[in-house]
Chains A and B, each alone.
Chain A
Amino acid sequence: MTIVTTAPPPAAPGAGAEVPFGPSSDAIPGPLRFVARALRTLWSNRKARVGLVIIGVDILIAVFAPLIAPHSPTATTFTPYRGPSAANWFGTTGNGQDVFSQMIYGSRVSLLVGLGAGALATLVAVSIGLVAGYRPGPIDEGLSFITNLALVIPGLPLMIILAAYLQGRSVFTILLVVAFTSWATGARVIRSQASTLRNRDFVTLAVFSGERLFRIVFREILPNMTSLVTASFFGAATAAIMAEASLEFLGLGNPSTVSWGTILYYAQQQNALLTGQWVLVFAPGLAIALLAVSFTLVNFGVDALSNPRLREK
Chain B
Amino acid sequence: MRYLRRKVLLFIATLWAALTLNFALPRLMPGSPVDAALAKLASAGVPVTNAERHAIEIQLGSPHGSVFTQYWDYLTNLLHFNFGTSYSFPTETVAQTIGKALPWTLVLVGSTTIFAFIIGTLLGVYAGWRRGTVADSSITVGATFLAAFPPFWLGLLAIYWLSFTLGWFPLKGGYSAGVTPNLSLSFLGDAFTHSVLPALALAITSLSGWVFGMRNNMINTLGEDYVTFAEANGLRTRTVALLYAARNALLPNVTAFGLSLGAIVGGSVLVEGVFSYPGLGNLLYIAVSNHDFPLMQALFLVITLSMLLAIFVVDLLYVRLDPRVRQ
CA distance in complex: A37, B48 (Å): 63
Looking at the assembled complex, report how far the CB atom of B300 sits from the nearest CB atom of chain A, in whole angstroms: 5
Provide the main secondary structure of the chain A interface.
helix
Looking at the assembled complex, report how far the CB atom of B228 sits from the nearest CB atom of chain A, in whole angstroms: 13
CA distance in complex: A113, B39 (Å): 34
B interface footprint on A227-250 (CB within 8 Å = 1, 0 otherwise): 000000000001000100110011
Are the C-beta atoms of A148 and B14 separated by less than 8 Å? Answer: yes
- Interface residue A292 (Cβ < 8 Å from any Cβ of B): yes
Contact of B307 among A153, A242, A249, A310 (CB under 8 A): A153
Are the C-beta atoms of A166 and B156 separated by less than 8 Å? Answer: no
Looking at the assembled complex, report how far the CB atom of A246 sits from the nearest CB atom of chain B, in whole angstroms: 6
Neighbouring B residues of A154 by C-beta, 8 Å: 262, 265-266, 303-304, 307
Which single residue of chain B is at the shortest CB-CB distance from A167? B31
Q: A161-B297, A293-B144 are in contact. Are A151 and B25 (CB under 8 A)?
A: no
- Interface residue A264 (Cβ < 8 Å from any Cβ of B): yes
* Docked complex: A284-302 residues within 8 A CB-CB of B: 285, 288-290, 292-293, 296-297, 300
Which single residue of chain A is at the shortest CB-CB distance from B145? A293
* Docked complex: A258-286 residues within 8 A CB-CB of B: 264, 268, 273-274, 278, 281-282, 285
Neighbouring B residues of A282 by C-beta, 8 Å: 157
Are the C-beta atoms of A148 and B289 separated by less than 8 Å? Answer: no
Contact of A281 among B153, B265, B284, B307 (CB under 8 A): B153
CA distance in complex: A307, B220 (Å): 9
Are the C-beta atoms of B288 and A252 separated by less than 8 Å? Answer: yes
Neighbouring B residues of A307 by C-beta, 8 Å: 216
Neighbouring A residues of B153 by C-beta, 8 Å: 245, 264, 281, 285, 288-289
Neighbouring B residues of A292 by C-beta, 8 Å: 147-148
* Docked complex: A205-255 residues within 8 A CB-CB of B: 238, 242, 245-246, 249-252
Looking at the assembled complex, report how far the CB atom of A115 sits from the nearest CB atom of chain B, in whole angstroms: 16
A interface footprint on B117-149 (CB within 8 Å = 1, 0 otherwise): 000000000000000100000001000110111
CA distance in complex: A149, B16 (Å): 10
Contact of B144 among A242, A297, A303 (CB under 8 A): A297
Are the C-beta atoms of B303 and A290 separated by less than 8 Å? Answer: no
Looking at the assembled complex, report how far the CB atom of B138 sits from the nearest CB atom of chain A, in whole angstroms: 14
**Which of B80-88, B185-193, B234-242, B267-275 participates in binding chain A?**
B267-275
Which single residue of chain A is at the shortest CB-CB distance from B302? A157
Looking at the assembled complex, report how far the CB atom of B306 sits from the nearest CB atom of chain A, in whole angstroms: 9
Are the C-beta atoms of A152 and B311 separated by less than 8 Å? Answer: yes
Are the C-beta atoms of A155 and B148 separated by less than 8 Å? Answer: no
Contact of B304 among A153, A242, A289, A312 (CB under 8 A): A153
- Interface residue B18 (Cβ < 8 Å from any Cβ of A): yes
Which single residue of chain B is at the shortest CB-CB distance from A284? B153
Which single residue of chain A is at the shortest CB-CB distance from B143? A296
Neighbouring A residues of B148 by C-beta, 8 Å: 238, 288-290, 292-293, 296
Q: A153-B18, A310-B219 are in contact. Are A250 and B273 (CB under 8 A)?
A: yes
Chain B CB within 10 A, most for which of A167, A278, A289, A312? A289
Q: A155-B266, A250-B285 are in contact. Are A273 and B160 (CB under 8 A)?
A: yes
Q: A153-B307, A310-B216 are in contact. Are A160 and B284 (CB under 8 A)?
A: yes
Which single residue of chain A is at the shortest CB-CB distance from B21? A153
- Interface residue A313 (Cβ < 8 Å from any Cβ of B): yes
Q: A145-B13, A288-B153 are in contact. Are A160 and B262 (CB under 8 A)?
A: no
CA distance in complex: A274, B274 (Å): 13
Looking at the assembled complex, report how far the CB atom of B277 sits from the nearest CB atom of chain A, in whole angstroms: 15
Contact of A165 among B14, B25, B157 (CB under 8 A): B25
CA distance in complex: A165, B29 (Å): 6
Q: A246-B270, A249-B270, A297-B144 are in contact. Are A157 and B304 (CB under 8 A)?
A: yes
CA distance in complex: A157, B150 (Å): 15
- Interface residue B10 (Cβ < 8 Å from any Cβ of A): yes
Q: A165-B29, A310-B216 are known contacts; what are 19 more A-B pairs with Cβ within 8 Å?
A: A152-B262, A152-B311, A153-B21, A156-B270, A157-B284, A160-B269, A160-B284, A161-B25, A165-B25, A165-B33, A250-B288, A281-B153, A285-B149, A285-B156, A288-B148, A289-B150, A293-B144, A309-B220, A312-B132
12 A-B residue pairs with CB within 8 Å = A149-B18, A151-B259, A154-B303, A156-B269, A157-B304, A165-B29, A165-B31, A250-B285, A268-B274, A273-B156, A288-B148, A293-B145
